[in-house]
Amino acid sequence: MFGLKERPNLLLALNETALELLREHTASDAVILLDGKEDRSQVLTIDFTGIAKQSGGMDIMSNTVAAGTVWGLLKYPLEFLEDFLRREFAGRDEIIEKNLACAAAGYQKGLTLSTNLTAPHPVRNPASVMTGAAMIGLAAATSGVKFVTAYPMSPSTATLTSLAAASDRYGIVVEQAEDEIAAVNMICGAVYAGVPAMTTTSGGGFALMAEGLSLAGMMELPIFILVAQRPGPATGMPTRTAQEDLKFVINAGHGEFRRIVYAPGSHRQCYDLTRVALETAHRFQVPALMLTDQYLQDAETNLELPSAEYRPIDRGLIEGEPETYVRYAESPDGVSPRAVPGHGVAVVCDSDEHDEAGHLSEDFAVRIRQQEKRLRKDAGLLEAFIMPEVYGADDADIALVCWGSTYGACREYIDIMNAGGGKFAMIHFSQLWPLPGDRLKPLLEQPRRLIVVEGNATGQFRALLREAGISREMIKVSRYDGLPITAEYLTAEVKL
């Protein structure tokens, strides 16, 4: 996965207004296609509407002609576009035939165009085009999530709707909650009953979930929360992107309890880490949180689809019906045997401090034992930490440290700089908490310049690395205008 471009190389404008608004944002050598009949300077005018009529279509099908033209210009296989049109207008045979004719006419027109534009990579059938949001939904469904509830909030809603679309196939109950407080408490109840469950939200909605998150910490419930970031504070910029909620997610909730935080950097990682988050949450009986952002949620990429086979995770439940059972029994690793109600044993849970059996307790010694038991999970969580991916020159002079969706831009920048004779590397984190400082020090304290790249103003991850014991100088490169970090942005901002 490579990063977004600052300025596109191709602009397709179906009217003059679109041309006026967007032309200034294109690359200097961009190919610009305009629906029209009169010649324009540095613009290829094509009568998309006229071609649509000549092909037996209607005015509105000018966009299909335009799509076909772009497809021909890039010399992609026409049958892939035809397959898409058949799916898009399924059950409307006459509309399908007209659109196919319009697409074919546009395709032939595109083949005749002479431009400096070439396809960036081979295209697969559009059936394999996926967003990050959809990849998370697919992974959750195949991993055995059976209950999803959320209050819609962009940019997280796309994952909620993708799970709703998969609900019949995978047997998922999807509920739109009245608010985020209800959503997090509902998944706590579902997980208590043994059902893998999750909710989706963004920063403002997550703010309302803090008390429910603490409830999961006290009751040791493996809930899963997707937090899709956008610029804040308050309503901020709902349709733009940011990496501003990292410290908030790590520190949200009252009291002290363990949690795990992941941040995928690519569409494939969206799929893989969703499963890892669910498995790890159930293994250690702690909340798992995943940080994405508007860019990764909504970005579409053409990829080899991962398996859609149903492979439910191990929920870590005890087998059989033991003669004696207490929910919060002492254990060396802090993880108590977990049962669910209705399977022959009494499962007592309490939001107050409690004894081993789950009954409310004001005994100070009990409090100490239970809190220390919960915190002992830290050793296992640190052992299960996913070490960052290192990419680029082994003997790098400069290393970019990044996390989450900046993966593509940083990797592209590294390739550009190394192709020019530089010695650059990327260190990308997909797990952000907890951080094993002792294991990270040998990697991050090598004799090279470290530049931490983040989509926030204050350098939140750099601060977390310092808390983890990385004391060396780390230069900050930030972007917080609401746009994603790109290789071009890094070229301008990284001072060599």
**Sequence ranges of the domains in the chain:** 10-123, 135-302, 317-377, 389-493
Pick from 180, 179, 184, 176: nearest CA to 221: 184
**Confidence (pLDDT) at 391:** 97
Beta strands (DSSP E) in 266-356 are 288-293, 300-302
| Least confident segment among 79-93, 139-153, 218-232 | 79-93
Mean pLDDT of 180-204: 97
**Confidence (pLDDT) at 288:** 98
Topology agreement, domain 10-123 and domain 389-493: no
d(CA 439, CA 382) in angstroms, rounded, equals: 9
Mean pLDDT of 23-47: 88
Is residue 30 within 8 A of residue 11, CB to CB? The reply is: yes
Residues 387-419: pLDDT tens digits? 999 999 999 999 999 999 999 999 999 999 999
Q: Which CATH number fits domain 10-123: 3.40.50.300, 3.90.640.10, 3.40.50.2300, 3.40.920.10?
A: 3.40.920.10
Is residue 70 within 8 A of residue 12, CB to CB? The reply is: yes
Residues 329-359: pLDDT tens digits? 999 999 999 999 987 788 998 899 999 999 9
**Confidence (pLDDT) at 342:** 83
Q: Is the pLDDT of residue 126 over 70?
A: no
Q: Which letter does DSSP use for residue 151 in this model?
A: -
Q: Is the pLDDT of residue 260 over 90?
A: yes
Pick from 234, 230, 256: nearest CA to 244: 230
CATH number of 389-493: 3.40.50.920
Pick from 445, 447, 395: nearest CA to 423: 395
Q: Is the pLDDT of residue 7 over 90?
A: no
Single-letter code of the amino acid located at 176: Q
- pTM for the structure as a whole: 0.91
Pick from 478, 474, 453: nearest CA to 465: 474
Classify 126 as helix, strand or coil.
helix
Q: Is the pLDDT of residue 1 over 60?
A: no
What percent of the chain has a predicted confidence (pLDDT) above 90? 83
Is residue 452 within 8 A of residue 401, CB to CB? The reply is: yes
d(CA 44, CA 47) in angstroms, rounded, equals: 10
Tell me which architecture the domain covering 135-302 has in CATH: 3-Layer(aba) Sandwich (3.40)
**Confidence (pLDDT) at 127:** 61
Q: Is the pLDDT of residue 2 over 80?
A: no
Say if residue 436 is preceded by a cis peptide, omega within 30 of 0: no
Helices (H) and strands (E) in the chain, counts: 20, 17
**Confidence (pLDDT) at 436:** 98
| Least confident segment among 227-241, 315-329, 482-496 | 315-329
d(CA 416, CA 436) in angstroms, rounded, equals: 31
d(CA 232, CA 242) in angstroms, rounded, equals: 8
User: What are 475's strand-pairing partners?
Assistant: 451
**Confidence (pLDDT) at 120:** 65
Backbone φ, ψ for residue 328 (5° rounding): -115, 45
DSSP string, 378-392: HHHHHHT--PPEEEE
